Amino acid sequence: MTLDDATFEQIVTAYYEPLYRFAFSLVQRESDARDLTQDTFAQLGRKSHQVQEQAKVKSWLFTTLYRAFVDSHRWKTRYPHVEADDAVNEMPAVTADAGDRLDAETALQALKEVPEVFRVPLTLFYLDQHSYLEIAEILGVPVGTVMSRISRGRAMLRQLMEDRPRNLISFDKLKRSVVL
């Protein structure tokens, strides 16, 4: 269907009110209903070639509006809007220097107890900051093996860390003192 300005104006005049009422019944807010209706007519302007006959414009408009509503509803369900002030009580309390502190001595001792086959990839990845590919080249093993060893080594280290008392020292001091 070719859509010139006069035809577009006729369609808007004929279907704006029923389309708006339908949108309002879905979203229950005037501003959202207006936006949904406007977006639907904007889509018609861009995609009028999809409508074969002018007689099918009404169903195309209502279908397009409904699909836009469903997409928007899915998005809002997946990514709900939460005001930061309302979520303060749900957020974890973190001190300003928490990122600078680590139970480094305990971590170092626990790391020494992890078997070498897992300790080396862990050290290369976390302390020396090598990529999986670089570690695979260094060790001469496939990337999947590196990933597996890091995952298993991390689980072993976590278990060892949970079994030890905490003794906090600087992370930078740990990095300088790591000797394998």
Pick the CATH number of 5-78 from 3.40.50.12780, 3.20.20.240, 3.10.20.30, 1.10.1740.10: 1.10.1740.10
pLDDT surpassing 60 at residue 26: yes
Identify each DSSP E strand in the chain by its residue range.
Answer: 101-102, 169-170
Flag whether the pTM goes above 0.85.
Answer: no
CA atoms within 13 A on the CB side of 156: 19
Residue 44 class from Cβ within 10 Å (0-12 exposed, 13-18 middle, 19+ buried)?
buried
Section 25-49 average pLDDT = 92
Q: Where in the chain is the domain with CATH 1.10.10.10?
A: 98-177
Sign of the alpha-carbon torsion through 18, 21, 25, 31: positive
Decide: residue 88, CB within 10 A, 0-12 exposed, 13-18 middle, 19+ buried.
exposed
**Do residues 124 and 154 make contact, with C-beta atoms less than 8 angstroms apart?**
no
- Tell the CATH topology of 98-177: Arc Repressor Mutant, subunit A (1.10.10)
Task: Say what the pLDDT of residue 84 is.
Answer: 73
Task: Say if residue 42's pLDDT is above 90.
Answer: yes
Integer CA distances (angstroms), 160 to 57, 113, 117, 146, in order? 67, 8, 16, 21
**% residues pLDDT > 90 (the chain):** 43
Whether 5 shows a pLDDT value over 60: the answer reads yes
pLDDT tops 90 at residue 3: no
